Structure 1
């Protein structure tokens, strides 16, 4: 078996932002040569597959500047500084974005969004036993979205129409479809 590990020789911090940091690492390759790696550091995020009593999923529709379009996603958000318990982040994000609270929570998985250049990990939770609150928690001041409840058929149609294009949401829909009879 070939050695696959790259060893970091040097790190240059290029940018420190509100949401991400960018660094360039010089690495020693398994064959002894050197290369550079551009790495985005991210604090992590949560996402929520929220399932209603009538077996629908909750989605948010919002504009995403990096891809310059409006898309549908499951509720999600960045883990804020000091938030150790990811479940608490998920509970906060669900209520902030949708005005729902959930009685039952289960961690489904954690996945890396783009391990070729970023360390962002998203912890995906399933939330059931939903109750809509009078009003959502204060949403981020730069966040604008619409909330939708969709059936599996409607969600899959949005994938086909190119309105659901992110991996966390496609994963959640697939999980829902594979476990639909268990809900």
Structure 2
């Protein structure tokens, strides 16, 4: 069965620094037409730092769209011009936690909300951590929190950690055998 939809028209409603919103008219596989609301996003990277004892480093910060302080893995947007995903991850890890990694292990990519959002988030585990001073952006207020991996999993199970990239990164790190 054919599933591909053909774009007929695109109309941008908003163009911003990290995202743009458009409405597309599409032709469906059965020949009918429909519209699609699409949010184009620059993409991002999430890093799960794991220390030699099997602890993870998360950041705690206020997330405006949800109106709450949440725990999540260090992460950032790929909004510094053309940038390699791993290089972005290295930069964000240092900025938000002060750590640098001796080794970055790819954990794959995720589509956070494929029904309307083009964002791709690249995930990495950061190993062989070396501490240093954090350098958050001037509009970024974060604290880093270290906890055993088992506590991260418990907080995920108890619905205390709801951030999708954090949940996926933890699961993939477990599947890859990065947790002892």
Could you tell me how far apart the structure 2 residues matched to 1:110 and 1:95 are? Answer: 21
Q: Which residue of 2 aligns with 1:141?
A: 138
Gaps of 5+ in 2: none
Q: In 2, Cα distance between the equivalents of 1:143 and 1:161?
A: 27
The runs of 5 or more residues in structure 1 that have no matched partner are none
| Residue 77 of structure 1, CA deviation | 0.3
Which consecutive segments of 4 or more residues in structure 1 shift more than 4 A? Answer: 179-183
- Which piece of structure 1 moves more, 154-163 or 114-123? 154-163
TM-score of the two chains, using structure 1 as the length reference:
0.92
Of the three residues 146, 156, 159, the one matched with 2:156 is: 159
1:134-166 per-residue CA deviation (whole Å, 9 max, x = no partner) reads: x222x2222111101111221122223432102
Q: In structure 2, the residue corresponding to 1:143 is in which secondary structure?
A: coil
Tell me the residue number matched to 1:116: 115
SS in 1 for 2:65: helix
Please give the root-mean-square deviation of Cα atoms over the aligned residues, in Å.
1.5
* Residue-by-residue CA offset, 1:76-102 (whole Å, 9 max, x unaligned): 000024233111111000000000001
Query: What is the 5 A alignment of 1:65-104?
Result: 65-104=64-103
Q: How many residues align?
A: 180
Deviations 1:47-101 (A, max 9, x none): 1011101110110011111112111101100002423311111100000000000
